[in-house]
């Protein structure tokens, strides 16, 4: 779909809106120092409590990304009590991170004991059974990186768990779990795709965000 510059000119954008969009993105990602810079340059107001919470959240996520699930869990309990109680999926994912840590440090006996103590209770619920089996299968390999389940050891997996944890903590604190920036991008993409479908056949390809931003 061709860009029609005339349409764009007619829309006014409020500076404040732009600043808030950037701010929400930074808060979501716990970029504390950058937030402080932005606040200093733009005159936005951010309550101190929010800054502290952001600091704590940053530490929790950092633990998770390192694979230090136990500390992540402890701090989460401290910051948002009951969160993990009510979110068993997340708890399982975090516990499994610790299990993976033990495996990677080749502490098999400890890993086995940990699994028996903390993970097997989940096995009573059908939806966790397959996941549990995936993790347990790691025990069979002396070089888990070479097993079929190697993706469970990867940084991407830890990132995935950390993201879920982040959204859960934000939701728990009644803050939006998706940043305004993310929402806008999603909205724009969906709208463009719908429109291009409606217009029919002589449209070449699906909407590409990258191309759009370059144009």
Give the footprint of other proteins on this chain (CB under 8 A): 108-109, 112, 115-116, 120, 123, 132-133, 136-142, 148
Nearest by Cα to 103 from 74, 160, 141: 141
| Shortest Å distance, C-beta 147 to other proteins | 8
Q: Which residue, 66 or 134, has its beta carbon nearer to other proteins? A: 134
Q: In the bound complex, what is the minimum distance in angstroms from residue 152's beta carbon to other proteins?
A: 13
Contact 116/90 with Cβ under 8 angstroms? no
State in angstroms the smallest separation of the CB of 148 from other proteins.
6
Query: Cβ 123 to other proteins, closest distance in Å?
Result: 8
Count of other CB atoms within 10 angstroms of residue 18: 11
User: Which one, 31 or 141, has the nearer CB to other proteins?
Assistant: 141
Dihedral pair phi/psi, residue 118, rounded to 5°: -105, -30
**Rounded to the nearest whole angstrom, what is the least distance from the CB of residue 158 to other proteins in the complex?**
22
Phi-psi region of 175 (alpha: psi -120 to 50; beta: other; left: phi over 0): beta
Instruction: Between 89 and 110, name the residue whose CB sits nearer to other proteins.
Output: 110
In the complex with other proteins, which residue's Cβ is closer, 119 or 165? 119
Tell me if 128 sits within 8 A of 122, measured CB to CB: yes
CA distances (Å), origin 36, targets 44, 51, 52, 173 = 10, 9, 12, 21
Nearer to other proteins, 31 or 150 (CB): 150
11: its two tokens:
């829309």
């Amino acid at each position: 779909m061709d860009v029609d510059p005339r349409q764009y000119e007619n829309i006014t954008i409020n500076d404040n809106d732009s600043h808030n969009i950037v701010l929400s993105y930074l808060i979501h990602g716990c970029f504390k120092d950058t937030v402080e810079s932005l606040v200093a340059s733009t005159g936005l107001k951010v309550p101190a409590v929010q800054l502290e919470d952001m600091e704590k959240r940053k530490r929790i996520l950092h633990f998770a990304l390192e694979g230090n699930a136990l500390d992540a869990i402890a701090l989460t309990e401290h910051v948002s009590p009951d969160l993990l109680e009510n979110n068993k999926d997340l708890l399982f994912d975090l516990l499994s991170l610790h299990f993976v840590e033990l495996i990677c440090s080749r502490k098999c006996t400890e890993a086995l004991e940990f699994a028996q103590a903390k993970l097997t209770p989940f096995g009573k619920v059908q939806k966790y059974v397959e996941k549990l089996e995936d993790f347990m299968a790691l025990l069979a390999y002396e070089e888990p990186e070479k097993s079929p389940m190697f993706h469970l050891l990867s940084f991407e997996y830890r990132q995935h768990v950390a993201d879920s944890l982040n959204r859960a903590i934000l939701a728990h604190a009644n803050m939006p779990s998706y940043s305004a920036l993310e929402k806008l991008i999603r909205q724009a993409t969906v709208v463009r795709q719908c429109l291009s479908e409606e217009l029919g056949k002589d449209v070449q390809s699906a909407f590409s965000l990258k191309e759009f931003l370059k144009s």
